[in-house]
Amino acid sequence: MARRFSRRGFLGGIGAAFAAAPAARAAAKLGEDGLYQMDWYVEGFLELAEDLTAAAQRGKRFALLWGLRGCPACKRMHEVHLADPAIAGYIRDNFDIVHLNFLGSREVTDFDGTRLPEKAFAERYGVRGTPTIQFFPESATGLAQRPLARREVARIAALPDPPEFLAMFRYVRAKGYEAGTFEAWRKRQA
């Protein structure tokens, strides 16, 4: 017996197919500021304690991504690393990423209440190039009293190959930093 399809059923089937497609396949868009953006990046309050707390309430970890207009490594990260559905999906599902401009002027409030434009904030934390990703603990409790270098739990300061890039996010999510270095953690995972 032949099955009949209604227009509603047909259109519903197409919608279901699109809904089942990985959201991570969404391409990065170049913003007016010259930075690549993913639709799942978090706008954030630019008040780090609040942004970290909001991420934790969603069951996610918090990270700052530093970019720069015209940065070839930033472009590669968005067109290669984040174009991979497995990588983008893992990050999107487990992290709130706030994208900052290495030379930007938006005001960012640090954990200790210090307010600085993005450029000065990057200098304060020793961000020297792009892309750089700063990972923070699960809670903002006590971060204001820590020295700057001890506020982060990990950092990607250059663009590694995609497998190592994803591994760093897994390391942070699994709190591998509590047991030792990223390199030691990677060896234990192999």
Q: Which domains does the chain have, with CATH numbers?
A: 49-189 (3.40.30.10)
- Rounded to 5°, angle at Cα 60 from 54 and 101: 70
pLDDT digits (tens, 9 = 90+) for 32-41: 899 999 999 9
pTM of this prediction? 0.85
Position 26 scores a pLDDT of 62
Distance in angstroms (rounded) separating the CA atoms of residues 62 and 69: 23
Give the residue from 15, 37, 17 showing the smallest Cα distance to 27: 37
Position 2 scores a pLDDT of 41
Position 177 scores a pLDDT of 97
| Burial annotation 83-116 (CB, 10 A radius, 16+ → b, else e) | bbeebbebbbeebbbbbbbbebeeebbbbeeeee
Q: How many Å from the N-terminal Cα to the C-terminal Cα in the chain?
A: 53
pLDDT digits (tens, 9 = 90+) for 39-51: 999 998 999 999 9
Share the mean pLDDT of the chain: 89
pLDDT digits (tens, 9 = 90+) for 105-133: 999 999 999 999 999 999 999 999 999 99
Confidence of residue 27 (pLDDT cuts 50, 70, 90): confident
Give the number of other CB atoms < 10 A from CB of residue 69: 16
Cα–Cα distances (Å) from 66 to 44, 98, 180, 187, in that order, read 14, 9, 25, 28
